Structure 1
Amino acid sequence: MKVHLRVFVEVENLGKAMNALVEAGITGFYILEYKGMSPQEWEGFSVKEDPKSAVRLIRDHANDAMLICCVVDEEKTDKIVEKVIESMEGEKYTILEVPIKRIIVNYNDKESQRAETWLLEKEVPCFYCGENAVQRIKIDMNKAKIWCTNCGAARYYLVKGVEKEEK
């Protein structure tokens, strides 16, 4: 069986957690940037029902954090988790192991409708850490991803276009 391994870490510990996962043998992962609060931080808060108040509360009080996700074989999970625990000693993190019932992948064979993937690299200041580092940009159909090679932070964008009018 496969396991969806989710490692929640503070932004400053992203590289440490990623290195531990790679050293433990994972072959791929994806990362999500989010804002979160632990139950201890949340205790005592009362949120008004309107969405603007809830969003404002999260923006003002939640911490920037990263979620590293990967799919691993169940028998390799313990070794990977042990490596993360060892590497993250003294740091704040959460690990979830979610069993995967099945995985369905559709390799839509309609190549004529698929745009070419572009990968650009340029050394500029990072949008997150501010350091001058290589930023990788991948554009695929209507999605774009910018990834910092220094701190590992990533941002995702939807690309909206306008069709040309035929003359």
Structure 2
Amino acid sequence: MTKRVLFELFVEEKNVGKAINIMTLAGITGFFLHKYRGLSPDKFKNLSKEELEDIEKVYEIIRDESDKAVVIGTVVKEEKAKKIEELLKEKMNNERWTVMKIPILKVKVHRV
């Protein structure tokens, strides 16, 4: 049995089209998108304890300092995940992106 992974690609909002094109080149036909705002570890580690304890200050920092980004997710075989990563390295080598691969233990679809 071939192992499958939840492949999640985090990209800046401006690179969503490029990332989707790369996934299409790899043969991916179905995926989900989730917009979010994120703080890089470099920005986050510079926050003081006082800033983190004040929830209004946290919201202000997220609003002002965070980056707009998108998670593109799909479930693929491990071999396909490697192909996507190779294409990302080739075609988006000058852009920021992050990949997370999470092993899938079971998929059950309930149909009505």
Does the alignment reach a TM-score above 0.5?
Answer: yes
Q: TM-score, normalised by structure 1?
A: 0.61
Matched residue, 2:83: 79
Q: Which has the higher strand share?
A: 1
Q: Give the fraction of aligned pairs with identical amino acids, expressed as a percent.
A: 39
Matches of 2:98 and 2:58 in 1, distance apart? 24
What does 1:39-58 correspond to in 2, within 5 Å?
A: 39-46=41-48, 47-58=51-62
Match of 2:24 among 22, 25, 32: 22
Give ranges in structure 2 of 5+ residues lacking alignment: none
Instruction: Give aligned pairs, total.
Output: 108
RMSD (Å) for aligned C-alpha atoms:
1.3
Matched residue, 2:6: 4
**DSSP-derived class of the 1:48 partner:** helix
Summarize deviations over 1:133-165 as a string: whole Å, max 9, x none: xxxxxxxxxxxxxxxxxxxxxxxxxxxxxxxxx
Q: TM-score, normalised by structure 2?
A: 0.88
Matches of 1:83 and 1:37 in 2, distance apart? 26
Q: CA deviation at 1:18?
A: 0.7
Kindly tell me: are residues 105 and 61 of structure 1, through their superposed partners in 2, closer, same or farther at Cα, counting changes over 3 Å? Answer: same
Matched residue, 1:150: none
Q: Which structure is higher in RCO with an 8 Å CA cutoff and minimum separation 6? A: 2
Q: Which has the higher helix share?
A: 2
**DSSP-derived class of the 1:45 partner:** coil
Kindly tell me: are residues 16 and 94 of structure 1, through their superposed partners in 2, closer, same or farther at Cα, counting changes over 3 Å? Answer: same
